[in-house]
A = this chain, B = another copy of it.
Amino acid sequence: MPYPDEAVGFMADGPESFGTFTKRAYKLKPFEEFDIDVKVEACGICGSDVHTVSGGWGEQLFPLCCGHEIVGTAVRVGPKVTTIKEGQRVGIGAQAYSCGECKQCRNGNENYCPVNSINTYGSKWPDTGIVSQGGYGSHVRAHEHWVFPIPEALETTNVAPMLCAGLTAFSRWYATVPGRGRRLALGAETWAISRSRAKEADAKKLGADGYIATAEEGWEKPHLTSFDLIVNCANSSKGFDLPRYLSMMDVHGRWISVGLPEEEGQVIKAQNLISNGVLIGATHIGNRQEMLAMLKLAAEKGLRSYVEEIQIGEEGLKQAMQRMKKGDVRYRFILTGYDKHFARDLKI
């Protein structure tokens, strides 16, 4: 009997059936006093979903209902929840729980909680061992710390990608590392870097001041030691000439990867890093404070994602996965049509 004990959603069974999703009911973790149930209305399809379903990131707890850029309505709110009211529009990103008590949680680094970090899908909830399931389904249950009110100015289908992709890029690398990131404050000079010029017009529309096409001869030369930060969104490290990118970094600049390619990694020597003392890092989504700040900023400045809507269902998910694999999306698929699709399942 689906909801409130179960949700119903589209599950992947493993890499061998990549692109095939089967609708099933699955257990939700026991509802606790800080939990919030979200009835999903839209969900972005993140690169993580593809890496997970394809097996590129290694073993997973299949069957799995992916999706961690979730927007919907809080339909049930635990008695100790103070941040959200029933009926409110909310979002859930890639994390559903953190212990709240460890050093990292106390320091505002709850997205790095080493004690009990639960991903929105694919983690085992402690005690019960029930696997967390995400936004390709009818409902998602999460701790209130990881459920965010969505400002009125933002559209449901448009805000979804901000909850993982947006937050990851916005996170403290941009906002709060003191002393660095000055050019990254609002009004920063921003360039888009891509292989070809295919995305140039879009990048300019999105506000890029300049554009670098790395398929062109000598692309890095005019930019030597000029960038304070490069956010590396590449989905693959194949054929990636890292030293040329690093040569564009200003002294003590930061090269931050937000993508997690499936390949074995890149060889890095200290010698590649000393000509400008560049720092190499990666970032794991963001904390609650950053999420709220990002949503506020998006609402105030009218920031919008480029999205393509797709109806939730076997067919829509298959198409989305196949097109994602080819990089054929401008720039995020958003699953919609939940109400219509799940209406019957939830009445059974």
* Known pairs A179-B178, A260-B274; A104 contacts B279 (CB<8 A): no
Which residues of the partner chain B approach A274 to less than 8 Å between Cβ atoms?
A: 260, 282-284
Would you give the shortest CB distance from A47 to chain B, in whole angstroms? Answer: 12
A172 interface residue per 8 A CB criterion: yes
Residue of B107, B251, B266, B284 near A112 (CB, 8 A) is B251
How far does the alpha carbon of A274 sit from the alpha carbon of B284 in the complex, in Å?
5
Interface residues as binary, A247-276 with B (CB distance below 8 Å gives 1, 0 otherwise): 000011010010111011111111111111
Q: Is the CB of B281 within 8 A of A257?
A: no
Q: Is the CB of B284 within 8 A of A281?
A: no
* Known pairs A179-B178, A257-B273, A269-B265; A251 contacts B282 (CB<8 A): no
Which residues of the partner chain B approach A268 to less than 8 Å between Cβ atoms?
A: 265-268, 280
How far does the alpha carbon of A225 sit from the alpha carbon of B106 in the complex, in Å?
14
Q: Is the CB of B225 within 8 A of A275?
A: no
Which residues of the partner chain B approach A109 to less than 8 Å between Cβ atoms?
A: 251-252, 277
The complex is assembled from copies of this chain, and their number is: 2
Q: Is the CB of A114 within 8 A of B225?
A: yes
Residue of B112, B265, B271, B279 near A267 (CB, 8 A) is B265
Residue of B114, B252, B267, B277 near A275 (CB, 8 A) is B114
A278 interface residue per 8 A CB criterion: yes
How far does the alpha carbon of A251 sit from the alpha carbon of B112 in the complex, in Å?
7
- Closest chain B residue to A57, Cβ basis: B271
A302-323 interface (Cβ within 8 A of B): none
11 extra interface residue pairs, beta carbon distance < 8 Å, beyond A265-B270, A270-B282: A104-B251, A109-B251, A114-B275, A114-B276, A257-B270, A257-B273, A260-B271, A266-B267, A267-B267, A274-B283, A280-B280
